[in-house]
Amino acid sequence: MDWIIILGAVGCLAACFAAASTGAIFTPGEWYRGLRKPSWNPPDWLFPVAWSILYLMIATAGWLVWRVEGIGTALVVWGVQLVLNAAWSMIFFGIRWLGMALAEAVLLWASILACIILFWPVSQLAAWLMVPYLVWVSFAVVLNATIWRLNPGPHPVMKWAEAGSMGQRVR
């Protein structure tokens, strides 16, 4: 097997792992458990299972596109959606800015749709691998909006943000 192809697969998996790592850094915790949520909110155990499967599909889709056209517009957009994916956990669970997380999730949704559109002429399999991700993020957008509506008002930020990691100088 060609080592370049293997390195490409490892690179796509590593990029997805990096995006997923923000979910391990910015965890739901007690604050999230204390929020009002809709009755249709999935159980906590479902999120890591769903995301593990989705990240494998996202990595595979990126790798399939990379194999055909290398680093082009489609793969750049794939990278952008990973950055947006990673940022959501920080905004929602880290900064606890529910409204901004919703706006960011809408951008994430649009970037996933753009990936599907750009992937289609390159690899229809890659495009189809992104569809469950789009469906999951569609659900997540509605869930984020509902949680924000059910929990109006300011939300205390994490201790690291209070300590000055948000651009303020700590004395």
Where residue 31 falls among pLDDT bands split at 50, 70, 90? confident
> What is the average pLDDT across 20-48?
89
- Rounded mean pLDDT of the chain? 88
Domain containing 78 equals 3-154
Could you tell me if residue 13 is inside a domain? yes
Q: At what angle do helices 46-69 and 73-89 cross, to 10 degrees?
A: 160
Q: Which residue has the tokens 């990673």?
A: 86
Which CATH number do you get for residue 144?
1.20.1260.100
Could you tell me if residue 161 is inside a domain? no
Could you tell me if residue 38 is inside a domain? yes
Could you tell me if residue 92 is inside a domain? yes
Q: What is the token pair recorded at 53?
A: 């499967």
Taking every pair of Cα atoms in the chain, the longest distance, rounded to a whole number of angstroms, is 56
pLDDT value at residue 137: 98
CA distance to 7, 23, 75, 78, 138, per residue, from 11 (Å): 6, 19, 12, 13, 27
Where residue 163 falls among pLDDT bands split at 50, 70, 90? very low
Could you tell me if residue 160 is inside a domain? no
Stated pTM of the model:
0.85
Contacts of 69 (CB under 8 A, 6+ apart): 75, 122
Q: How deeply is 145 buried, as exposed, middle or buried, from its count of CB atoms within 10 A (0-12, 13-18, 19+)?
A: middle
pLDDT value at residue 160: 47
pLDDT at 170 over 50: no
Could you tell me if residue 169 is inside a domain? no
Contact 66, 8 (CB under 8 A): yes
Q: In whole angstroms, give the CA distance from residue 9 to residue 13.
A: 6
pLDDT value at residue 11: 86
pLDDT at 83 over 60: yes
**Count of structural domains, the chain:** 1
Q: In whole angstroms, give the CA distance from residue 40 to residue 54.
A: 21
